[in-house]
Amino acid sequence: MKKLNISLLALVLALIMAVPALASDVTYPLVQEGEEITLDVVWGKAATSKPIADMKVVKDVQEISGVKFNVTEIPDDGYEEKRNLMIASGDLPDIFMEGVGMKGIINYKDQDVFIPVTELIDNHMPNLKAILDSHPEYRAAMVAPDGEIWGFPNIEEMYGLVCNQGILSINQDWLNKLGLEVPKTVEEFKECLIAFRDNDPNGNGQQDEIPFLPIEIFKTHRIYCGEEEPDAVFTSSSTGGEGASKHYIASLADYERVYTRGFEIFYGSPREVSIYALLPSYLEREGSSLVRMVDGLIRQGRGGGFYLYDHEKLLRDMASDVGKKILLGVSYALLDLAEEMTGRGSPPAEGWQAESLTGWSSPDTIVMETGGMKGRREEMSKARMHSILREAFGVPEIHSEYGMAELMSQAYSRGGGRFETPPWMRVAVRNLSDPFDVRHTGRGGINIIDLANLRSCAFVQTQDIGSVAADGGFTIDGRVARSDIRGCNLLVQ
């Protein structure tokens, strides 16, 4: 194991990040004349990122410290497999730069692969420690269940502006037209965005340059402009161990009106429907917007309820309901139920009767998935999952719901994975290399305009990748590389 070199890197970064008061105690470069220290670095490279050797921060660290980096770049699409092979073989670099995540750390922490860095941060990195002390939510997101911190964070309060070169781009033509320089501070960036918004840099006579807010900002900032304290705070599921987003909801009554009207557009009055919900992972945490919506629709409807893991009772209740009904569930829970019903999974609980597996469905029964394996099952394509569910449940199509904590509104697919939006919601696509290149059709990163987000932000740049058709319908194809794992409609690309 190369623990010495990992610790040395930590000290290199610690000394470079040291407060000015320590400058008199430090002599640069750190490497003595005639000596050489080289650290092996493995980096999962996104297609849109520049080579790590070309990044200014990497050049500066090497120049100031005298420590050299020997970098192996692995394309994102094969990174996880090659990283796992390295760990299994014991052929480890000094540094894995990104691409491990909290879940990976937890899986390997007892195998003498990684070292905790808690003490290094507290004792040798005063600048980082000061940031974590002033933002306890950052430290909380970094701490593993064992109380240790197992890696150095990437903290950006204005996503992409400072550190992630190549992720945030800016339109030079727009800057030139408005006589602006490339922004170098958060305040300059803010003023630049305001100028883009107000001065028609694309020259089409329309105010359509409104910038979209990266969804990650909901994790680090209170995105709320209401005069009164919010009625509620919805949180994201943060499936991969990342910090949760927070969406401050000014009025729960408004939220109820939005989700009710959206449901009515695609499925008619909720008073005529029974919803049977399998949302165990959502019910087991607080702040779920999905649970709030489904609970409200159930209360308005004819019947139904939440069933956690009681599949037998769920099917018995559905069999006794002769009206229109929706079986709605997170993907892994529906797959678990499907395997039990077809005899491919765990055997049914003792006492199950054969008739409990039949009669639950009728011609007007709808099966709707909300996405999300939640780390409980192997990820699979949407097409494969829908095929399994159609066969098991005997329905012609699998419906889908698309929503997230940061949005008040939901989109629905009535088959084939093609989503439609209510009239106050629109979807666009952005060029992943230029977030200001936003188009109404095509394939790219998904941007959403949700006018129901009255007291937060109506223009949200998500981490989903998909395609938008000319009529506004859209599909979700996957996630931006190294983005957070999300619960709602999470499937592999």
Per-residue pLDDT at 79: 81
Q: For 203-233, what is the HEC assignment?
A: CCCCCCCCCCEECCHHHHCCCCCCCCCCCEE
Residue 226 lies in a domain: no
Supply the pLDDT for residue 359. 58
Query: Is 115 inside any structural domain?
Result: yes
Is 342 found in the same domain as 394?
A: yes
The whole-angstrom separation of Cα 208 and Cα 202 is 9
Bridge partners of 107, per DSSP, are none
Do both 76 and 202 map to the same domain?
A: no
Shared domain check, 182 and 82: no
Burial of 181 (0-12, 13-18, 19+ CB in 10 A): exposed
Model pLDDT, residue 205? 83
pLDDT at 166: 39
| pLDDT at residue 376, rounded to an integer | 61
If DSSP codes are grouped into helix, strand and coil, which group holds residue 472? coil
Predicted local confidence at residue 481, as pLDDT: 64
Amino acid at 378: E
Q: Is 311 a member of any domain?
A: yes
Q: Which pTM value belongs to this model?
A: 0.61
Tell me, what's the pLDDT at 375?
Answer: 56
On whether residue 238 sits in a domain, the answer given is no
Residues 204 and 250 in one domain: no
> Does one domain contain both 265 and 384?
yes
Q: Please check whether residues 201 and 274 belong to one and the same domain.
A: no
Asked if 406 contacts 236 with a C-beta cutoff of 8 angstroms, the reply is yes
pLDDT of residue 358: 56
What CATH number corresponds to the domain at position 403?
A: 3.40.50.980
Helix (H) or strand (E) holding 137: helix 136-142
Of 36, 96, 88, 24, whose CA–CA distance to 62 is shortest?
36
Residue 455 zone, left/alpha/beta (φ > 0; ψ -120 to 50; rest): alpha
**Which residues pair with residue 278 across a beta bridge?**
329
C-beta separation of 339 from 346 below 8 A? yes
313 within a domain of the structure (yes/no): yes
Q: Are 42 and 127 in contact (CB under 8 A)?
A: no
DSSP of 279-308, one letter per residue?
-HHHHTSS--HHHHHHHHHHHHSSEEEE-T
User: What does the pLDDT read at residue 141?
Assistant: 79
Compute the distance between CA of residue 149 and CA of residue 261 in angstroms, rounded to an integer.
Answer: 45
In angstroms, rounded to a whole number, what is the distance separating the alpha carbons of residues 336 and 345? 7
Task: Examine residue 15 and state whether it is found in any structural domain, yes or no.
Answer: yes
In a domain, 67, yes or no: yes
Question: Which pLDDT belongs to residue 227?
Answer: 81
Please give the tally of structural domains in the chain.
Answer: 3
Residues 22, 135 within the same domain: yes
Question: Phi and psi of 137, rounded to 5°?
Answer: -65, -30
* Statement to judge: residues 189 and 127 lie in one domain: no
Q: Do residue 204 and residue 316 come from a single domain?
A: no
**Number of Cβ atoms within 10 Å of the Cβ of 162:** 16
Q: Which domain holds residue 202?
A: 172-208
Low-confidence ranges of the chain (pLDDT < 70): 1-26, 47-49, 98-99, 101-103, 154-169, 238-242, 281, 283, 343-359, 361, 373-377, 379, 481-493
| In a shared domain, residues 138 and 176 | no
* Whether 36 and 116 share a structural domain: yes
Residue-level pLDDT at 282: 72
Is there a single domain that holds both residue 277 and residue 198? Answer: no
What confidence score (pLDDT) does residue 146 get? 84
Residue 476 lies in a domain: no
| E-strand stretches of 53-121 | 68-75, 95-97
CA distance 214 to 126: 29
Say what the pLDDT of residue 47 is.
Answer: 66
The CA distance from 143 to 125, in Å, is 16
pLDDT given for residue 82 in this prediction: 86
